[in-house]
Structure 1
Amino acid sequence: MSKLSEKEIVKHLEKLPEWDYEDDAIHTEYEFNNFKDCFSAMSRIAFECEALNHHPDWSNSYNVLNISLTTHDAGGITLKDIKLALVIEGIVEEEEEE
């Protein structure tokens, strides 16, 4: 998969307003009500990552989840990152509704 241009990345991020582009990766941070809700979202995201065979750099501290996506093989952002970010957004939105 080929690396996207900065112009392409900015265009895709219009659909992902919670995400920022910096240092050849896209980043976001989510805050949940508690650790259980954060971990639940991470578990759901993990299954999707496995299905897509694309994995984030991420960390959490209590109820805050930090995610960074890049395609290491391509040396930057690809459509795999955009697709995974859209999937993650959907999961987090569902978690917030529950």
Structure 2
Amino acid sequence: MPPYAEPLSHKEIEDRLAELPGWSLTDDGATLQRSYRLPHLPGAVFVVHIAQIQDEADHHSDLTLRYNRVDVSVTTHAAGGRLTAKDFDLARRIQDIAPAHGAA
């Protein structure tokens, strides 16, 4: 398994999570998640932007588009469903584009 896909330690996860306000872990600690509120229905544009980033990174999350909300869940299946640096890098990139879409 490439080092980038190696599971992170509990301490590494805690440290990286502290740098991503609004993101949390599922109860089992295997998935990084966040819900973004959108000011209007065209949240699909935000989802399309996330999809473009995922394709560039060759790492994909689960996305759920609702009326005024987008839910994002990230994990690395190739690492046995554990969190890796790839997950946090993807979350950071999503976090960085959210304000341009009015997502909070």
TM-score band w.r.t. shorter chain = over 0.9
Query: What's the secondary structure of 1:73's corresponding residue?
Result: helix
- Identity among equivalent positions (%) equals 32
Aligned twin of 2:34: 28
Mapped partners of 1:93, 1:85: distance in 2: 14
Mapped partners of 2:102, 2:37: distance in 1: 10
Structure richer in strand, relative to its length: 1
Quote how far apart the aligned CAs of 1:5 are: 1.3
Aligned twin of 1:84: 90
Query: What's the secondary structure of 2:22's corresponding residue?
Result: coil
Query: What's the secondary structure of 2:102's corresponding residue?
Result: helix
TM-score by length of 2: 0.87
Following TM superposition, the consecutive aligned residue runs of length 4 or more in structure 1 with deviations greater than 2 angstroms are none
Query: What's the secondary structure of 1:35's corresponding residue?
Result: coil
Question: Which residue among 10, 13, 16 is the counterpart of 2:14?
Answer: 10
Quote how far apart the aligned CAs of 1:93 are: 1.7
Aligned twin of 1:67: 72
What are structure 1's unaligned runs of at least 5 residues? none
Task: Give the AA of the match of 2:102.
Answer: E
Quote how far apart the aligned CAs of 1:71 are: 0.2
What are structure 2's unaligned runs of at least 5 residues? none
Quote how far apart the aligned CAs of 1:6 are: 1.6
**Superposition map of 1:35-46 within 5 A:** 35-36=41-42, 38-46=43-51
Q: Deviations over 1:23-44 (max 9, x none)?
A: 30100000101121x1111111
Q: What RMSD, in angstroms, separates the aligned Cα atoms of the two structures?
A: 1.2
Paired residues, number: 96
